[in-house]
Structure 1
Amino acid sequence: MEAIINFVNWITGIVWGWPMLITLGLGGFVLSARLGFFQIRYFPYIIKQTFGKMFTKAEKGEVSPFQAATAALASTVGASNIIGVPAAIMFGGPGAIFWMWVMALMGMGSKFVEIVLGFKYREKNEEGEYVGGPMYYMKKGLKMPWLGSFFALMLMLELIPSIMVQANSVSASAQEAFGLNPIITGVVTLILVGLVVVGGIKRIASTTEKLVPFMAGAYFLAAMIIVIVNIAEVPRVFGLIFGSAFTPMSAVGGFAGSVVAASIRWGVARGVYSNEAGMGTAPMAHSAATNDHAVRQGFWGLFEIIVDTLVICTTTAFVVLSTDIWTQPGAMDNPSGLPAAAFNNFYGPIGGTLVTVALLMFVVSTIIVVIFYGEKQAEFLFGLKFSRVMRYVYLASIVIGAAGGAQTLWIFLDIMLAMIIFPNMFALFMLHGEVKDLTKEFFTSKEYYLKDIGKA
């Protein structure tokens, strides 16, 4: 068994190095270029179409574009936004944040393309609900149903250890903060998640519509207060970010120093992991939305990246850098604990509790949505009845993971994720011409863009 673990770790190290960064980083750039960097050219318009329409209600029985976006956001806004960012700073230097921003901008191309394709190739299931995602555009767009089935199988299986890891982080946080037994945490999480996922996508969308803005807003507000109090440090923080993005960073206090290659690697990785652009998960939530055009729904993918990476991750970075918590002795020993330490120093004991509660909420919302994603894979492969069976397999894995069970499964997490990303990015490249045509149609048609800006 040890030999298998060592081999998987070795393969994972190779795959999640430059091959993955080139696939997602350069891939996102190429897709953005092929679409004429629309995310920059039409940025003000896209903001009006998303942030400006956040509170537009859907008709009864429908999923609004904003609800679909918050469902997808619930999956991406997770523990990594709080604990992943300081790790990138400690191992890649403050310059990693610059490369995270670059990756977010380029990732908009990948996320837009996959959401538009998901919306275009969606279909209705036995219950009359829209379902879509990479497995559908691989089957109907690429005419490669075997690749769609491979994608669906890998994601369906990958989500079991993924949920276990998420549940374990919930139980570990609750045990450390409140002394709760991991089994109790697991059962409570199981009940909370179960009550939501049993209601299907409409209940999930209704829940995330309320939960995501609240949890993200509360964390952002508490973090921004720290940044505002340290406002005099902001110019220095920008100097650190831009300065060390292109030049090596020498050791400072508890920070051991970094080279430019490390800044790029950690920044690109953080951008990729935080917003899931190119992973193929977001289209599953967006395909359920009611909208008049696939491109208009695709704009909500950009909304997600702005909220997830450019707002929440950046805020965490500014808290860590403006308070100088990253230069304190021992900072390198526990990078994940730096935000909690910064909150603790500023707000007192309640600060650490606030971060812990935010982590718990982020992770629970993530589990809710990834179970829905898993059900959609099972439905695609084996039908609606089997998807219900997988729902309960996923729910059971919450308690197993919370108790620390099946940890040997966790080593397969990253390698299985790679088996999802590579075929999805292949599909995006093969089909992006269709998205280019749809985008051109949207921005030149009197029914859509020209009508919106009063030039129809």
Structure 2
Amino acid sequence: MDLLQIISKINGVLWGPIMLFFLLGTGILFTIKLRVIQVRKFKLAWNETFGGMFKKSSKANEDGMSSYQALTTAIAAQVGTGNLAGVATAIATGGPGAVFWMWISAFFGMGTIFAEAILAQIHTERVDGEITGGPAYYIRKGLGSKFLAGFFAIAIVLALGFMGNMVQSNSIAEAAYSAFNMNKLVTGIIIAFIVGLITIGGIGRIASFTEKIVPIMAALYILGSLVIVLTNFNQIGPSFQLIFKSAFTPMAAAGGFLGSTVKGAFRYGIARGLFSNEAGMGSTPHAHAIAKVKHPAQQGLVATMGVVIDTGVVCTLTALVILTSGSLYSGNNGILLTQEGFVKGFGSFGNSFVAVCLFFFALSTIVGWYFFGESNIKYLFGKKAINIYRALVLVCIVVGTTMKVELVWELADTFNGLMVIPNIIALLGLTSLVVNVTNDFEKSLDEGNISEFGNN
């Protein structure tokens, strides 16, 4: 048995039913404890997120970034190649019913991500003059465990900063080669150069990049997807019927499609939803920690909208492109399945469209994951180690474009799983704090002590 097979078997256990149970279960717990806050305060969350969207944001600095910039930085990381390839794989493997369970995981994930953002807001710290935060800080300060905090910090630097970004750059290189016959090494150097220009400018330039690129890339993909879906308007109703029906009944194989079971739909739908919006994984709190808001729960509400955009909108549109276009029965899987849907609607331009979207999605994810890793480098070594970390990330980006990444992807999954464990322990251990802070927020709202749009 080679190393790849060994790591794959480890991931089979690590990301098995137990992990999915705790991730989903944590979301259910917070949904109950917070009295379904994602529904009760949805309007307020929408207003907090988009009420100040068109205001001029203050420049991010050592004191943090605006609430909207924090959200776009989080979404930059959440919306990635998984929204194109991962959703397609979940549908091909678990059937259309996987989409239903993806929505369910997103609904409860909103409770989890609300809690993560609150804890990150409360437990911030100045490192060499700059405000920073994230799970490592609330694990150490809130839970009181230096060991688990250090364990989390190391795991996320390896999972996202290094290995995860190798996979993302590889995805861009593969798409550019497929669509434009572009040399992969050249692609890697270009990506590294762009990322270097962004990250060398620190938090100010990262926030400025994400607040500009995220709305553009989201609008581009949403518009393109809607064209495909509306072109196949007569298939929208049947597609939703298929999603709900196959979520609870097995589906027969046809046209290269493997067929599905209810268990498969549940497993792959829940997993895809959680992997996509990253609720409970401990990544997005790094951005929400440093948002300039009047109350921690305001950023908690803003964080929930990241799940809505990522899973509720982008992932759902990918699924509808696949189902309404009929590409599900093409015999393809992964990104090829999504590409087939766009090719059916746009002709040969469909390949180029997916390649461009993939470039923006993966590039924004690289920047977001770089930032999350940097926050933990600060925790482990202080600001002095950032230049070394940045250089290593840029090397990983270039190397990632030239190699087969099966082993790297498996290792990234392993460290992803390892970083989830201490984060979930902290969330469960600090549940009462989240509830108390939320109650204080709702009391302040009733008394009129908090303005509606916070500090966008």
Which of the five TM-score ranges fits, normalised by the shorter chain? over 0.9
Contact in 1 for aligned 2:325/2:344 (Cα 8 Å): no
The aligned residue for residue 338 of structure 1 is 337
After TM superposition, the structure 1 = structure 2 runs for residues 123-162 of structure 1, keeping only pairs within 5 Å, are 123-126=125-128, 128-159=129-160, 160-162=162-164
Contact in 1 for aligned 2:121/2:289 (Cα 8 Å): yes
The aligned residue for residue 390 of structure 2 is 391
Residue ranges of structure 1 left out of the alignment (5+ in a row): none
Report the CA distance between 1:125 and its aligned residue.
2.2
Q: Encode CA deviations 1:187-235: one digit per residue, 9 max, x unaligned.
A: 0000000000111112111101010110111010011011112222211
Contact in 2 for aligned 1:65/1:286 (Cα 8 Å): yes
The aligned residue for residue 275 of structure 1 is 277
Contact in 1 for aligned 2:231/2:345 (Cα 8 Å): no
The size of the alignment, in residue pairs, is: 449
The aligned residue for residue 323 of structure 1 is 325
Contact in 2 for aligned 1:51/1:303 (Cα 8 Å): no
The answer to whether the aligner puts 1:199 opposite 2:198 as a matched pair is: no
Report the CA distance between 1:50 and its aligned residue.
1.5
Q: Encode CA deviations 1:17-58: one digit per residue, 9 max, x unaligned.
A: 101210111221112111111111222222222133322333
Quickly say closer, same or farther: Cα 1:248–1:210, change in 2 above 3 A.
Answer: same
The aligned residue for residue 298 of structure 1 is 300
TM-score between both structures, scaled by the size of structure 1: 0.95
Q: Distance in 2 between matches of 1:411 and 1:231?
A: 39
Backbone CA RMSD of aligned residues: 1.8
After TM superposition, the structure 1 = structure 2 runs for residues 103-182 of structure 1, keeping only pairs within 5 Å, are 103-126=105-128, 128-159=129-160, 160-182=162-184
The answer to whether the aligner puts 1:308 opposite 2:310 as a matched pair is: yes
Q: Distance in 2 between matches of 1:309 and 1:180?
A: 31
Quickly say closer, same or farther: Cα 1:250–1:446, change in 2 above 3 A.
Answer: closer
Q: Distance in 1 between matches of 2:447 and 2:423?
A: 29
78, 81, 89: which is aligned to 2:80?
78
Q: Distance in 2 between matches of 1:99 and 1:80?
A: 16
Quickly say closer, same or farther: Cα 1:449–1:84, change in 2 above 3 A.
Answer: farther
Quickly say closer, same or farther: Cα 1:202–1:48, change in 2 above 3 A.
Answer: same
Quickly say closer, same or farther: Cα 1:194–1:229, change in 2 above 3 A.
Answer: same
Q: Distance in 2 between matches of 1:446 and 1:43?
A: 14
Contact in 1 for aligned 2:136/2:150 (Cα 8 Å): yes
Report the CA distance between 1:176 and its aligned residue.
1.2
The aligned residue for residue 32 of structure 1 is 31
Q: Encode CA deviations 1:326-360: one digit per residue, 9 max, x unaligned.
A: 123x23xx342122112112112212101111001
Contact in 1 for aligned 2:60/2:203 (Cα 8 Å): no
Contact in 1 for aligned 2:232/2:324 (Cα 8 Å): yes
Report the CA distance between 1:380 and its aligned residue.
0.5
Q: Distance in 1 between matches of 2:406 and 2:101?
A: 32
Q: Distance in 2 between matches of 1:230 and 1:34?
A: 42
The aligned residue for residue 96 of structure 2 is 94
Q: Distance in 2 between matches of 1:343 and 1:386?
A: 44
- What SS does the corresponding residue of 1:194 show, helix, strand or coil? helix
Report the CA distance between 1:420 and its aligned residue.
0.2
- What SS does the corresponding residue of 1:53 show, helix, strand or coil? coil
Q: Encode CA deviations 1:265-299: one digit per residue, 9 max, x unaligned.
A: 01001100110001111111112211111000111
Q: Distance in 2 between matches of 1:139 and 1:59?
A: 31
Quickly say closer, same or farther: Cα 1:267–1:407, change in 2 above 3 A.
Answer: closer
The aligned residue for residue 436 of structure 2 is 437
The answer to whether the aligner puts 1:14 opposite 2:13 as a matched pair is: yes
Q: Distance in 1 between matches of 2:398 and 2:16?
A: 32
- What SS does the corresponding residue of 1:289 show, helix, strand or coil? coil
Report the CA distance between 1:377 and its aligned residue.
1.1
Quickly say closer, same or farther: Cα 1:177–1:46, change in 2 above 3 A.
Answer: same
Q: Distance in 2 between matches of 1:71 and 1:388?
A: 20
Contact in 1 for aligned 2:60/2:207 (Cα 8 Å): no
User: What amino acid is the match of 2:169?
Assistant: A
Q: Distance in 1 between matches of 2:447 and 2:419?
A: 34
Q: Encode CA deviations 1:231-272: one digit per residue, 9 max, x unaligned.
A: 222111111011111111122322221110000001001100
The aligned residue for residue 42 of structure 1 is 41
Amino-acid identity (%): 40
Contact in 1 for aligned 2:59/2:204 (Cα 8 Å): no
Contact in 1 for aligned 2:198/2:209 (Cα 8 Å): yes
User: What amino acid is the match of 1:261?
Assistant: K
User: What amino acid is the match of 2:437?
Assistant: L
The aligned residue for residue 367 of structure 2 is 368
Q: Encode CA deviations 1:406-426: one digit per residue, 9 max, x unaligned.
A: 864443221111110011011
Q: Distance in 2 between matches of 1:250 and 1:232?
A: 22
Q: Encode CA deviations 1:396-438: one digit per residue, 9 max, x unaligned.
A: 1111111117864443221111110011011001012111111
After TM superposition, the structure 1 = structure 2 runs for residues 206-221 of structure 1, keeping only pairs within 5 Å, are 206-221=208-223
TM-score between both structures, scaled by the size of structure 2: 0.95
Report the CA distance between 1:387 and its aligned residue.
2.2
Moved more, 260-269 or 55-64: 55-64
Moved more, 182-191 or 4-13: 4-13
User: What amino acid is the match of 1:238?
Assistant: F
Q: Distance in 1 between matches of 2:3 and 2:447?
A: 54
User: What amino acid is the match of 1:298?
Assistant: G
Q: Distance in 2 between matches of 1:192 and 1:29?
A: 40
Residue ranges of structure 2 left out of the alignment (5+ in a row): none
Q: Encode CA deviations 1:140-160: one digit per residue, 9 max, x unaligned.
A: 111112211111111112231
Quickly say closer, same or farther: Cα 1:446–1:357, change in 2 above 3 A.
Answer: closer
The aligned residue for residue 225 of structure 1 is 227
The aligned residue for residue 288 of structure 1 is 290
Contact in 2 for aligned 1:151/1:423 (Cα 8 Å): yes
After TM superposition, the structure 1 = structure 2 runs for residues 178-193 of structure 1, keeping only pairs within 5 Å, are 178-193=180-195
Q: Distance in 2 between matches of 1:390 and 1:452?
A: 39
Quickly say closer, same or farther: Cα 1:351–1:407, change in 2 above 3 A.
Answer: closer
User: What amino acid is the match of 2:236?
Assistant: V
Q: Distance in 2 between matches of 1:47 and 1:21?
A: 28
Contact in 2 for aligned 1:75/1:369 (Cα 8 Å): yes
Contact in 1 for aligned 2:46/2:302 (Cα 8 Å): no
Report the CA distance between 1:168 and its aligned residue.
1.1
Q: Distance in 1 between matches of 2:447 and 2:6?
A: 52
